[in-house]
Amino acid sequence: MPKKAKSVAEDGGAKKYVLRLYVTGSTSRSEQAIRNIRKICQDELEDHYDLEIVDIYQQPELASKDQILAAPTLIRKLPLPLRKLVGDLSDKERVIAGLQIVPKKK
């Protein structure tokens, strides 16, 4: 059962990112995408994100609603505007730039 994303974009002054990752079953490509986005979120967003993993085979109505044509696909629901990335999310810099994530200060 996927974790429900909150509709809050702000969390104590810091942006709250609401992300949904669409995968196709438990394939190696799906597992790699899940590992990659979890690592990016932990490293760059700490606890300022909600990540929902959706298996297209188990919840095709969500995939249809979000107009998913390929998997894995990552959607940034909040903050607006909505952003989508397709692929295994292995290029960390591309994911950060594509989703317009403001990385944490080091």
User: Considering the entire predicted model, what is its pTM?
Assistant: 0.82
Neighbouring CB atoms inside 10 A of 68's CB total 20
Which of 33, 51, 46, 19 lies closest to 92 in space, CA to CA?
33
DSSP assigned state of 6: P
Indicate whether 103 pLDDT > 70: no
Indicate whether 100 pLDDT > 90: no
In this predicted model, what pLDDT tens digit does every residue of 54-98 receive, in sequence order?
A: 999 999 999 999 999 999 999 999 999 999 999 889 999 999 999
Within the chain, residue ranges assigned H as helices are 28-40, 60-65, 92-98
Residue 93: φ, ψ to 5°: -65, -40
CATH number for the domain running over 14-98:
3.40.30.10
The domains of the chain are located at: 14-98
Cis peptide before 81 (omega within 30 of 0): yes
